[in-house]
Structure 1
Amino acid sequence: MSEIALSVEGLDLYYGDAQALSGVSLDVPASGVTAIVGANGAGKSSLIRTIAGIERPRAGRITWRGREIQGRPSHEICNLGIGQVAEGRQIFPTMSVLENLEVGGHLPRARRAKAETLAEVLTLFPRLAERRGQAAGSLSGGEQQMLAIGRCLMGRPELIMFDEPSLGLSPALVLEMFRIIERLNRERDLTVILVEQNVAASLELAERAYVLETGRIVTSGSGRELMTDERVRAAYLGV
């Protein structure tokens, strides 16, 4: 069995009186891809935001490399090696591509290797290298998503959480985005949590997968197992 890099146990999250997550527990294998699938409003983004330290849980534990991190501020969690590519990309549109990337390299863990990491990112994404002086807001949707990933990589994460990375992209760019995620996992040994509307592609890529419904984990297994689960096929794969 793979080493567990991140573990979530009994996580409860509320927005005011409304409960967004209820008793959520899951394990994320090191160097693997873990998919979290579910309908809109199921709590997927809330889970990502809680792991990232943006939301504070009311109950439960989040353990990263044996260290409890729930409730810590987001900048501390980033500096422990957990990066996030947020839904909607959230780049700085008036800043240049290069300036956006440099922002990602300001974490203490990343500063010493900033120049080396920048060279790696621009090699991984040649289109960003071509447009390094261009305003980020003028990039295409696919290029903006590459920039969001590149900015995350500048922080030298060990785990990246992708929140709807293919949202708003053309079918061809969706395929490219999944190839990029697979390559980061395979070639750079990055642990990946993938929240994605494209359930079939997510499960095909995932070593481990969880189905989240109305804030609760309702089933889990390998990606291949869930691809053949009749409930999952009916609810999310249109079969």
Structure 2
Amino acid sequence: MLSVEGIDLFYGDAQALAGVSLTIPEGAITAIVGANGAGKSSLIRTIAGIECPRAGRITYRGQPVQGRPSHEICNLGIGQVAEGRQIFPTLSVLENLEVGSHLPRARRRKAASLAEVFGLFPRLAERKSQAAGTLSGGEQQMLAIGRCLMGRPELIMFDEPSLGLSPALVEQMFRIIERLNRENGLTVILVEQNVAASLQLAERAYVLETGRIVMSGSGAELLNDDRIRAAYMGI
């Protein structure tokens, strides 16, 4: 569904990604794990069109997308739930969700999308008139996911969805991601520091270190790899 080939990304003279290559199969959850500063968010931002790589190629359903504006990439069906949620705090919950439906691919199904989001997150329906900035952290994460779903994506990239949440809410977020994949058929790229939880969920996974892919395999294989357990799980 998505192919990343030999991506190099620089911020000035500092190289953030070096020769990164990976493939994302349709209908699967693929995890990208690594420590802080490994380049995980840079990779997501490059796929989304927010950053422009110096070298390499990104194709979505066989169509080159690197270098295209982010709104065009969104309209192809690639959605992003950004790190830190990035909701509009002064807008209401409903207004935030409506922003997500402005993509041409999503406009005609706005009402159906809103019903689906409120079905998935009843708490958002209860608070639809409330300013988004007054929601709890977990509710804001629900809103960020709901806003992405309003754009009718076929592939969703989650960037640190558990960040800043309580253990109970972290578990809930992972259940939601699994449900979106299994019941809604969405392809998922999951970028997470919670290595154990993401590898348990993922069918395929990549390990990113200092801007390079250093390991890949099934989620189960990496979860049971002694090097991964020692480096990221303290086992």
Shift of 1:197: 1.2
1:88 corresponding residue in structure 2: 84
1:209 corresponding residue in structure 2: 205
Shift of 1:237: 1.3
In 2, distance between residues paired with 1:231 and 1:26? 21
Which of 118, 124, 136 is matched with 1:122 structurally? 118
2:13 corresponding residue in structure 1: 17
Matches for 1:34-113 after TM superposition, within 5 Å: 34-113=30-109
Shift of 1:229: 1.0
In 1, distance between residues paired with 2:81 and 2:109? 21
- Please state whether the residue corresponding to 2:130 is helix, strand or coil: coil
In 2, distance between residues paired with 1:39 and 1:127? 33
1:6 corresponding residue in structure 2: 2
Shift of 1:230: 1.3
Which of 6, 28, 32 is matched with 2:28 structurally? 32
Shift of 1:135: 0.3
Shift of 1:89: 0.2
Matches for 1:139-178 after TM superposition, within 5 Å: 139-178=135-174
Instruction: Please tell me the residue identity of whatever aligns with 1:120.
Output: E
Shift of 1:200: 0.3
1:184 corresponding residue in structure 2: 180
- Please state whether the residue corresponding to 2:183 is helix, strand or coil: helix
**What count of residue pairs does the alignment treat as equivalent?**
235
In 2, distance between residues paired with 1:36 and 1:69? 20
Equivalent pairs: percent with the same residue?
84
- Once the two structures are superposed, residues 77-99 of structure 1 have per-residue CA deviations (whole angstroms, 9 ceiling, x without a partner) of 00000000000000000000000
Instruction: Please tell me the residue identity of whatever aligns with 2:165.
Output: L
Return the TM-score normalized by structure 1.
0.98
Point out 4+ residue stretches in structure 1 off by more than 6 angstroms: none
Shift of 1:184: 0.2
- Once the two structures are superposed, residues 82-128 of structure 1 have per-residue CA deviations (whole angstroms, 9 ceiling, x without a partner) of 00000000000000000000000000000000011001101110000
In 2, distance between residues paired with 1:7 and 1:124? 30
In 2, distance between residues paired with 1:228 and 1:196? 17
In 2, distance between residues paired with 1:41 and 1:121? 33
1:221 aligns with 2:217: yes
In 1, distance between residues paired with 2:93 and 2:156? 20
- Please state whether the residue corresponding to 1:188 is helix, strand or coil: coil
Instruction: Please tell me the residue identity of whatever aligns with 1:74.
Output: S
Q: Which runs of 5+ in 2 are unaligned?
A: none
Return the TM-score normalized by structure 2.
1.00
